[in-house]
Structure 1
């Protein structure tokens, strides 16, 4: 997840959340994905706030991702494709593909459990990818 402030909050048991801002008292605030509510880092249920970490690679630019696709595996092991909306580039040159999730939020598809690969149809080895055997067996 992208941190709008450049900071992530770290919790025990391990959880990492982007810091959305600070409250009037100066405490970091996150958005709880389960409720959509803004919470101070000390108010996240069932988690103990540990520390803040500076996000080392802030995004510098975004470029359209013409024709790039993400391949996912559904519960039956069949492949389905989702278009990549954009590529985000960091100051150190790393590229992150971005797709829209079911709620319309921008996400890195590589962080989703059923991610298979990112591909472009004009690649010399382009083909409709099949699901790797190890993913089929786990479903």
Structure 2
């Protein structure tokens, strides 16, 4: 996602807060990486950011093998326990949920 700094600038950055991005590898294994920050745009949208091994920050949803983001301690009122954001932007259960 390209951020248009003229019409919708970043107004704040918040810590990743324990959120995790999950990626499925070609061999079927899953790798997880912590989100390092959330960018807050002027319109209120929040963009998750993780960092590559080389130190480049990126929105994990833009990576081809992105599966989902989740917080390992998340529970909510009116939603399924430990809900996660999947690649389509919807809710998906975290492994182990019943």
TM-score (norm 1): 0.51
Q: Aligned residue pairs: how many?
A: 81
Residues 2 and 104 of structure 1: CA distance in aligned 2, closer, same or farther (over 3 Å) = farther
Could you say which structure has the larger radius of gyration? 1
Tell whether 2:21 aligns with 1:70.
yes
Map of 1:106 onto structure 2: 57
List alignment gaps of at least 5 residues for structure 1: 7-54, 131-139
> Secondary structure of 2:82's partner?
coil
Within 2, Cα distance between the matches of 1:94 and 1:63? 12
> Secondary structure of 1:110's partner?
helix
Residues 78 and 72 of structure 1: CA distance in aligned 2, closer, same or farther (over 3 Å) = same
1:61 paired residue among 4, 12, 19: 12
Map of 1:87 onto structure 2: 38
Q: Give the CA RMSD over aligned residues.
A: 2.4
> Secondary structure of 2:26's partner?
coil
Higher relative contact order by CA 8 Å / sep ≥ 6: 1 or 2?
2
TM-score (norm 2): 0.70
Greater percentage in helix: 1
Which consecutive aligned stretches of 4+ in structure 1 deviate over 3 angstroms post-superposition?
Answer: 127-130
List alignment gaps of at least 5 residues for structure 2: 76-80, 84-92
